[in-house]
Amino acid sequence: MSELAEALADLEEDKVRELVQKRLASSADPMSLVDELRQGMDIVGERYKSKDYFLSELIISGEIFKESMAAIEPKLKGSNRGEPVGKMVLGTVKGDIHNIGKDIVATLLTAAGFEIYDLGIDVPSDKFIDKLKEVVNARLECTVASAKKDGDATGRRNAAEALGRIKDNRAVEPLISALKDQDPVVRESAAESLGEINDIRAFEPLIASLKDKKSRVQNAAGNSLQKIMKELNNKKAVDILLLALKNRDPEVRRITVKAMQEISDPRAIDPLIEALKDEDVQVRDGAAKALERLGAPAVDPLLMKLKDDDAALQAKAASVLAEIRDPRAVIPLIDALRDESRAVRFEAIRALAKIRDARAVEPLIDVLKDADSQVRDSAAKALAEIGGGAVDPLIMALQDKSIRIRSQAAAILGEIRDDRAVVPLIEALRDQSWVLRSEAARSLGKIRDPRAIVPLREMLSDKDAYVREIADGALYEIERQ
């Protein structure tokens, strides 16, 4: 600890005054004196915290510090005192004429390196606001100038970052200019700060930065574009998004469809449906999610696309309808079950499963005859998801001429687990086909109804070993509960 810091900490006013004058006369660095005085004030603060000093000692140390600073200040004006760690506007509110607390705070903050704007006592609120605006504006102008002219890339980068924290629209143009800086770190900081300000003017310059040679700049531009787009909610902004959806750059289109997931303007529906045909899979998936968010208004346009000649578009439209789950889609989706394209049939089945409308049950049972095994399996799962509404038609299907239909109906009834199916499944245990007998036994084990115990025991003597094995397992499931 220096002699000056110790003298201030011990509240030796005369000694502090003598040391300061002596050091200044010897052309000592005024900033070194300020640092030593700050150290002394730090010790005073520690002693106050430990209750070795009280309020009176704080006031005395503050007066000694201010007197010393007054002597040092003229010398500081001619030296490089460096940047303050921050700026603070102080004052007591209107009606408060006490200044002790304010002066202590001002002294401690000054000692800590802050630049203080002391408005005094009994200060109206509008004066605080005016002074704050003045300080912020001065900081903004200084920072903008630094961003433009600083010869050091680190300085330009710091200036760009500071402008992002200030979030003043006047910084937009300088930051847009900084997107062309020769240093990639500066360009990255400029892109990030434009995202913090959220000004529509940055949209096109940031799109251009997506093609920057450095990936870090591209990523920063992409993230900022997403932030800006998320805040867009006026007509002009939507128009810009719709235009960006046609951009040649797939990255721009990806960002655009992601942003459009946050808006609810019906004008976006047709362009988004068109984007379902985009060559980029991320764009297609993003457009699908945006249409899902739009919901009911998108249903009719999507239903029109179920009749399109493009099978890929038909399938994508069906997949979006699956997420919207609007009953208006049921009949068109049922029609799509007969489409030539396997992908269209598959997506139509998935959509009907999610909508869970009883009108789809019998058409889905018919799909169990589809030539494609994956389509059949998908229809079976859809019927199981529809649940109770599918039980009676599935029971009827146990009498179908096709063994495939009968056996799949039995299996689906086991997944639904509705006790209305118990008696029909018991009857199916006597079917000539071992496939149906085994599926009926398996499903009875899943339903776990005691009425099936005796019939299943009789199946233990079935002529087919596989049926006997399934019946034994079903009995175990029922009897263990």
Model confidence over 460-474: pLDDT tens digits?
999 999 999 999 999
Average pLDDT of span 104-127: 73
Burial 247-283 (b: 16+ CB within 10 A, else e): eeeebbbbbbbbbbbebebeebbebbbebbebeeeeb
**Mean pLDDT estimate for the chain:** 85
pLDDT over 90 percentage in the chain: 43
**Per-residue pLDDT, 156:** 78
* Residue pointed to by tokens 């019946």: 471
Q: pTM for the whole thing?
A: 0.59
Residue 106 has pLDDT above 80, yes or no: no
Residue 46 has pLDDT above 80, yes or no: yes
Average pLDDT of span 11-40: 87
Structural fold of domain 3-123: 1.10.1240
**Per-residue pLDDT, 132:** 60
Give tens-digit pLDDT for 172-196.
888 888 888 888 998 998 899 888 8
**Per-residue pLDDT, 141:** 53
Paired tokens of 143: 């920072």
Question: 93-107, 163-177, 234-248, 465-479: which range is least confident on average?
Answer: 93-107
Average pLDDT of span 37-52: 88
**Per-residue pLDDT, 99:** 63
**Whole-number Å distance between alpha carbons of 158 and 350:** 53
**Per-residue pLDDT, 451:** 94
Average pLDDT of span 298-320: 93
Specify the pairing of strand 86-90 against strand 114-118.
Answer: parallel
How would residue 330 be classed by pLDDT, with cut points 50, 70 and 90? very high
**Per-state percent for the chain, helix, strand, coil, to nearest 5:** 75, 0, 25
How would residue 345 be classed by pLDDT, with cut points 50, 70 and 90? very high
Using DSSP's 3-state secondary structure scheme, residue 95 falls into: coil
- For the segment(s) 124-231, the CATH number from 1.25.10.10, 2.60.120.10, 3.40.50.720, 1.10.10.10 is 1.25.10.10
CB 288 within 8 A of CB 320: yes
Provide φ and ψ at 224, rounded to 5°.
Answer: -70, -35
CB 322 within 8 A of CB 298: no
Residue 413 has pLDDT above 90, yes or no: yes
Average pLDDT of span 329-345: 94
Give tens-digit pLDDT for 125-179.
777 667 765 665 555 555 555 555 555 677 778 777 877 887 778 888 888 888 8
Question: 211-215, 224-228, 353-357, 414-418: which range is least confident on average?
Answer: 224-228
**Whole-number Å distance between alpha carbons of 4 and 35:** 10
Using DSSP's 3-state secondary structure scheme, residue 116 falls into: strand
Using DSSP's 3-state secondary structure scheme, residue 7 falls into: helix
Instruction: Give CATH 1.25.10.10 domain extents, the chain.
Output: 124-231
Instruction: Give CATH 1.10.1240.10 domain extents, the chain.
Output: 3-123
**Per-residue pLDDT, 57:** 87
pLDDT over 70 percentage in the chain: 87
Average pLDDT of span 116-127: 79
Q: Which residues is 87 bridged to in the sheet?
A: 115
Residue 363 has pLDDT above 90, yes or no: yes
**Per-residue pLDDT, 302:** 95
Which of the residue ranges 33-42, 139-148, 226-235, 374-383 has the most confident prediction, judged by mean pLDDT? Answer: 374-383
Which of the residue ranges 42-51, 113-122, 288-297 has the most confident prediction, judged by mean pLDDT? Answer: 288-297
**Per-residue pLDDT, 347:** 95
